[in-house]
Every structure is written in structure tokens, then in C-alpha cells.
């Protein structure tokens, strides 16, 4: 080896050693709560319950740990799961284990790998709830978009400021949740393990150009309220109270943010007291309020005690929310469009809330006729004196086959279930059977049972299903016992609760002068009131138990 070669090798060795010394290393600070992880471009927090509650990349927060039941990144089965056995087996690893699930976080400068494991006999979901106000979102290899995305894809890329966060390993992504929050979901079967890979850094120059163009089309107002939205109904937890989720962003520098809710509850006027909001540029607040509405939310931003920006949302409430599914008599196929009469019934179509006059938004078949939902909502409001929200997802003429867990309509239904969130509605109302009158009773029973069980497993909580008796075709075929018996068995086996027997609605309750399968205006009103009677019998018991 000549001297020049030797000197070159020494220099290369020196610089390699210098690079190793100066390269940022992952550091975990062992604090009681939370554990703080510091990497090259990021900082993360793992709380005492094992959930990753904060992930900041280049000073930008990407997770929302206080929206609805969110813990940021967390397992869910019936409720958020606590992983109380939290350990740090090495300098770059944290493990957390609970009764049903476990996670291993492995940290490196350029990213993370999370190993998710379901040790239980039930299907479990793992969620990531992303912060509101992202500058852009990319599904898979698609284009960058502004709004929350919904797709069966394993990859989501989020952009905020000059920071970029990419997550791989999702089963699906969906949104919005409570305003503008993007969701990522991983489904884990019993005994299954899956991996999430996270990479982060700085947006490329090409991505930056896309983001500038995208956000130039929708510049931020000084103060924006993302949740609640007009005509939104939140599901109450007790007879007298529930929680609303207030979120938004402030695009200007201020030293104080305040919110207040005004209006009349079922027990009288609200106090209208101003409440300070802890965050300034972004705020996410869970606020207990009495059942009732419609309410108004005011948000104001201050500097030196002076109001410099303010926004208001009118007409939202705390009441009862229901999801609908099935075939045409659950959608807008009635003879004439109907309207709610009380002014206290609204519908959610997946993107926005609106007063619940027909046609109902969100149905999969795009039908434009009449429905029983306005009459149902009016009857429920008149009894309970709280706003009523409905979210309809049905498709006319469909067999139970198309609603199976691998079918497109099941996914349509579950998107709405996910958007409302765990505990975000009271029950699902199912009206279907007319297309399956020739199906064997046992087959129909098993197939609808499969839909019900799968929907609860996918949602991660045991929401009630009401199943109507529905087999009427026309004046020559008033009922089919094969379907009716299967629907009755679902009641008897406590798979579903008893809905109305709509086969009894004959004669002038039906369209085409009593000859059709769909309902006349008289039939739509009777149909809605029958549903309200069935649901009320159940709800009275639930609310009575909540009091005690």
C-alpha cells in the first residue's frame, strides 16, 4: 500500500467516524408520563396507557389525541384499549401490552416501525386520528388533495408546513371525523399481527409546488370552525347530557381564544358563558353540554383583550342519531317527497348535515323520491324534545347478498358508521327483505346475521340493530313467511331488536293506488311512526338505566 492510498483510507475512516458521531440519534427520555422520543426531524410522546398521543415532524403536529374518543394512535374494541404494561427494552424501542392487544414501537432517525398484535378472540381495530388543518393529503400514489380522503388503501401521506409524513400499513383510510380529521384504520383479526411503517421529513420541491397551488385555491380565513357544523346532531350519552367536539384553527397570531354555546336545552336556556381554549392556532375541545338545541357556537380570538377575529356556527344540537340501511323502502322511493314538520330533524349524507326534507342525502342508490325518515324524526322529537339526526345508506332492489361483508354496500354503510364514530349514533334501522322472498329462511337468517356481526366487529363497538319485518310485494303477495321467520329469529336470538311489521301497511298505505310495493304519503307517515314506536320502547329502557 503506497502512502497516498494509506492517507486516503485514514481520511475516509476519520470522516466516517465523524459522521457517525454527528448523526442525530434517537433519544428516549424516561419520564413517568409521557415517554418522550426525540429523533432527527421528529418528536413523539407515548402515554402511560401505551398510546402514541403526539407526533411532531419539523415542529408540526400530525396527530389529534383529544377528538371524540381519540388517543392519537390507539387500539379500539368497544372502547379505546389501555396498554398499561409499558416498557423500554432498548434505547430505540418501547413496548406496550394490555389484556387484548400489544404494540412495539421501534424508532429510528428517519422513521418508525410499529408492530401491532391482537391476542384476543375478537376482531380489533387500530386507529390513527390525524390533526385537522392539513395542507394536503395523498392516498396511495394519487394526487394531493385538501379534504379528508376515503379509500381502501394501505398508504397515506400527510403534508403540513414543510413537513411530510407517510404511513404504510393501513387497511383503509376515511373521513372526515368531527369536522376535518383524517382517519387511518388497521383491522386485525383474532390472533393477527400487522406492521405499520412511518417515514417523515421535508416535502420535496415538486410536492411544495402542488401544495402552494392547492392552498392558493382555498386560503385560510383568520378563524375557521371545523366542528360542529350546521344542523349536526351529536349523540347524547344520558337523558340530559352529552359531549360536543369543538375544533378549528386560527391563522393569525393571537394571545387568547374563547368559545361559548348558546340556545335552549330541554331544561331551559344555556348560560352562554365564555370558556378559554387552551390551544391558539389549532383547537380541539370536548365540551359537555345539555341535551337539546338548536344551539349556536361562537369562537373569538383576542389580542391584548381586544377581539381581532370571530366566527359562529348556528343550528347544531345534542340529541339522538340513527343510521338507516336496506333496500328501497329505507331510501327515497316513496310516492311523494315529504318534509319534516318540527324543524328539528336533520340528515347526514357523509359530507354535510342538512334539514331532513326529502330526498335524504347519502343513500347509495341516489333515489330522489319520498321516505319515512321525516315522519320518524318528527315523532321522535315530539316525544323526547331533542334534535334527531339520521344517516341513510340504502339501495333499492338489493338482496341481502349485496350487503355481505365483502360487498360494496357493506363498505358504503361502514363508511357512514365510521364517520359518526364509536358511540356517535344510537342504533341502526334495517328495512330489507322484499328482494329475498324466494330465499330459504335459514339462508336469509345466516346472511343477515353475518352482516350484523361483521358491522359491529368492523366498527369496534356493539351498536344495536333494529330489523323490520318486510316481505310485502303487492296485493297478490302480502307476506312471505320464509323472510319473516328469519327476521323473527334474529329478534328471538338477540342478534337484532324488533323493528316494525311493515307488511301490515297495505291498501292506501301503498303507492300506485294501493298496488305498489312502495309507500304512499299516508304510508310513509305511518311507516315512520311505527319505527318511532319500536325505537322508543327500547330507548325508554336505555335512558331509564342511564339515570340509575
Cα 439 to chain centroid distance, Å, stands at: 34
Taking the C-alpha atoms of residue 320 and residue 299, their distance in angstroms, rounded to an integer, is 25
Are residues 36 and 155 located together in one domain of the fold?
yes
- CATH at residue 343: 3.40.50.1110
- Mean pLDDT, residues 89-100: 93
Min mean pLDDT across 126-135, 205-214, 389-398 is at 205-214
Are residues 437 and 365 located together in one domain of the fold?
yes
User: Is residue 17 assigned to a domain?
Assistant: no
Confidence of residue 179 (pLDDT cuts 50, 70, 90): low
pLDDT of residue 20: 41
At 528-543, the pLDDT tens digits run: 999 999 999 999 999 9
Q: Is 41 helix (H, G, I), strand (E, B) or coil?
A: coil
Are residues 301 and 347 located together in one domain of the fold?
no
User: Is residue 178 assigned to a domain?
Assistant: yes
Confidence of residue 218 (pLDDT cuts 50, 70, 90): low
Are residues 364 and 265 located together in one domain of the fold?
no
User: Is residue 121 assigned to a domain?
Assistant: yes
Burial environment of residue 513 by CB neighbours within 10 A (0 to 12, 13 to 18, 19 or more) = exposed
| pLDDT mean across residues, the chain | 89
On whether the CB atoms of residues 29 and 44 are closer than 8 A, the answer is no
- Mean pLDDT, residues 254-259: 93
Cell numbers of 203, please? 416535502
On whether the CB atoms of residues 232 and 176 are closer than 8 A, the answer is no
Confidence of residue 281 (pLDDT cuts 50, 70, 90): confident
Beta bridge partners of residue 414, listed in sequence order: none
pLDDT of residue 67: 75
Give the domain-ending residue among 295, 315, 335. 315
Are residues 384 and 527 located together in one domain of the fold?
yes
pLDDT of residue 496: 97
pLDDT of residue 547: 67
- CATH at residue 228: 2.60.40.10
- Residue 203, pLDDT > 50, answer yes
User: Is residue 383 assigned to a domain?
Assistant: yes
pLDDT of residue 21: 40
Are residues 540 and 507 located together in one domain of the fold?
yes
On whether the CB atoms of residues 320 and 386 are closer than 8 A, the answer is yes
pLDDT of residue 32: 56
pLDDT of residue 221: 76
- CATH at residue 195: 2.70.98.30
Are residues 308 and 343 located together in one domain of the fold?
no
Give the domain-ending residue among 174, 200, 216. 216
- Mean pLDDT, residues 1-28: 48
Are residues 395 and 513 located together in one domain of the fold?
yes
User: Is residue 10 assigned to a domain?
Assistant: no
User: Is residue 245 assigned to a domain?
Assistant: yes
Taking the C-alpha atoms of residue 475 and residue 515, their distance in angstroms, rounded to an integer, is 6
Are residues 282 and 298 located together in one domain of the fold?
yes
Taking the C-alpha atoms of residue 480 and residue 252, their distance in angstroms, rounded to an integer, is 64
- Residue 242, pLDDT > 60, answer yes
Confidence of residue 217 (pLDDT cuts 50, 70, 90): low
Choose between 504 and 69: higher pLDDT.
Answer: 504
Are residues 253 and 299 located together in one domain of the fold?
yes
At 294-341, the pLDDT tens digits run: 999 999 999 999 999 999 999 999 999 999 999 999 999 999 999 999
Q: Which of 132, 100, 175, 79 is nearest to 423 (CA)?
A: 79
Taking the C-alpha atoms of residue 187 and residue 174, their distance in angstroms, rounded to an integer, is 13
Taking the C-alpha atoms of residue 233 and residue 108, their distance in angstroms, rounded to an integer, is 43
Cell numbers of 361, please? 342525502
pLDDT of residue 11: 43
User: Is residue 19 assigned to a domain?
Assistant: no
- Residue 444, pLDDT > 70, answer yes
Range of the domain at 345: 317-547
Give the domain-ending residue among 158, 193, 216. 216
- Can you give the length of the chain in residues? 548
Number of domains in the chain: 3
Confidence of residue 212 (pLDDT cuts 50, 70, 90): confident
Confidence of residue 174 (pLDDT cuts 50, 70, 90): confident
- List the alpha helices (DSSP H) in 312-389: 373-384
pLDDT of residue 175: 83
Percent of the chain with pLDDT over 90: 69
On whether the CB atoms of residues 106 and 96 are closer than 8 A, the answer is no
Taking the C-alpha atoms of residue 509 and residue 518, their distance in angstroms, rounded to an integer, is 9
Q: Which of 377, 376, 363 is nearest to 333 (CA)?
A: 363
Are residues 308 and 345 located together in one domain of the fold?
no
User: Is residue 131 assigned to a domain?
Assistant: yes
- Mean pLDDT, residues 450-477: 93
Are residues 197 and 237 located together in one domain of the fold?
no
- Residue 9, pLDDT > 70, answer no
Confidence of residue 19 (pLDDT cuts 50, 70, 90): very low
Cα 152 to chain centroid distance, Å, stands at: 15
Amino acid at each position: 500500500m503506497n502512502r497516498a492510498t494509506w492517507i486516503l483510507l485514514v481520511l475516509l475512516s476519520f470522516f466516517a467516524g465523524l459522521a457517525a458521531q454527528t448523526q442525530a440519534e434517537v433519544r428516549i427520555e424516561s419520564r413517568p408520563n409521557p415517554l418522550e422520543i426525540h429523533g432527527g426531524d421528529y418528536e413523539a410522546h407515548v402515554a402511560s396507557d401505551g398510546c402514541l398521543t403526539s407526533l411532531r415532524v419539523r415542529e408540526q403536529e400530525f396527530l389529534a389525541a383529544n377528538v371524540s374518543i381519540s388517543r392519537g394512535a390507539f387500539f379500539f374494541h368497544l372502547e379505546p384499549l389501555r396498554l398499561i404494561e409499558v416498557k423500554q427494552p432498548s434505547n430505540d424501542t418501547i413496548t406496550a401490552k394490555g389484556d387484548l392487544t400489544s404494540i412495539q414501537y421501534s424508532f429510528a432517525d428517519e422513521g418508525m416501525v410499529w408492530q401491532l398484535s391482537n391476542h384476543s378472540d375478537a376482531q380489533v381495530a387500530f386507529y390513527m386520528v390525524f390533526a385537522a388543518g392539513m395542507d394536503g393529503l395523498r392516498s396511495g400514489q394519487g394526487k394531493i388533495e385538501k379534504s379528508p380522503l376515503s379509500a381502501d388503501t394501505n398508504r397515506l401521506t400527510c403534508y403540513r408546513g414543510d413537513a411530510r409524513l407517510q404511513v404504510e400499513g393501513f387497511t383503509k383510510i376515511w373521513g372526515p371525523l368531527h369536522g376535518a380529521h383524517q382517519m387511518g384504520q388497521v383491522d386485525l383479526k383474532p390472533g393477527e399481527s400487522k406492521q405499520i411503517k412511518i417515514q417523515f421529513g421535508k416535502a420535496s420541491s415538486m410536492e411544495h409546488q402542488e401544495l402552494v397551488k392547492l392552498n392558493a385555491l382555498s386560503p385560510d380565513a383568520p378563524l375557521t370552525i371545523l366542528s360542529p357544523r350546521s344542523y349536526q346532531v351529536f349523540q347524547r350519552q344520558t337523558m340530559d347530557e352529552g359531549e360536543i367536539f369543538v375544533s378549528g384553527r386560527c391563522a393569525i397570531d393571537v394571545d387568547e381564544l374563547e368559545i361559548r354555546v348558546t340556545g335552549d336545552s330541554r331544561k331551559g336556556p344555556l348560560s352562554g358563558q365564555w370558556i378559554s381554549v387552551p390551544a391558539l392556532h389549532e383547537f380541539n375541545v370536548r365540551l359537555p353540554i345539555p341535551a337539546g338545541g338548536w344551539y349556536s357556537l361562537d369562537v373569538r380570538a383576542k389580542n391584548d383583550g381586544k377581539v381581532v377575529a370571530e366566527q359562529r356556527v348556528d343550528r347544531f344540537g345534542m340529541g339522538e342519531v340513527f343510521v338507516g340501511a336496506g333496500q328501497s323502502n329505507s331510501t327515497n322511493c316513496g310516492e311523494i317527497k315529504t318534509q319534516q314538520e318540527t324543524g328539528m330533524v336533520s340528515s347526514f349524507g357523509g359530507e354535510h348535515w342538512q334539514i331532513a326534507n326529502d330526498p335524504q342525502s347519502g343513500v347509495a342508490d341516489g333515489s330522489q323520491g319520498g321516505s319515512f325518515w321525516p315522519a320518524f324524526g318528527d315523532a321522535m322529537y315530539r316525544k323526547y324534545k331533542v334534535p334527531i339526526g339520521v344517516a341513510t345508506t340504502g339501495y333499492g332492489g338489493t338482496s341481502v347478498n349485496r350487503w355481505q361483508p365483502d360487498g360494496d354496500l357493506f363498505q358504503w354503510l361502514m363508511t357512514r358508521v365510521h364517520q359518526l364514530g364509536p358511540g356517535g349514533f344510537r342504533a341502526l334501522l334495517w328495512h330489507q327483505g322484499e328482494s329475498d322472498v324466494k330465499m330459504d329462511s335459514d339462508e336469509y337468517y345466516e346472511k343477515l346475521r353475518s352482516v350484523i356481526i361483521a358491522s359491529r366487529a368492523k366498527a369496534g363497538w356493539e351498536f344495536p340493530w333494529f330489523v323490520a319485518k318486510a316481505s310485502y310485494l303487492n296485493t297478490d303477495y302480502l307476506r312471505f313467511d320464509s323472510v319473516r321467520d328469519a327476521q323473527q329469529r334474529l329478534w328471538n336470538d338477540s342478534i337484532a331488536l324488533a323493528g316494525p311489521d311493515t307488511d301490515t301497511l297495505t291498501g292506501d298505505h301503498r303507492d300506485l293506488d294501493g298496488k305498489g310495493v312502495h309507500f304512499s304519503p299516508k304510508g310513509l307517515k305511518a311507516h315512520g311512526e311505527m319505527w318511532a314506536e319500536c325505537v322508543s320502547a327500547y330507548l325508554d329502557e336505555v335512558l331509564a338505566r342511564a339515570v340509575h
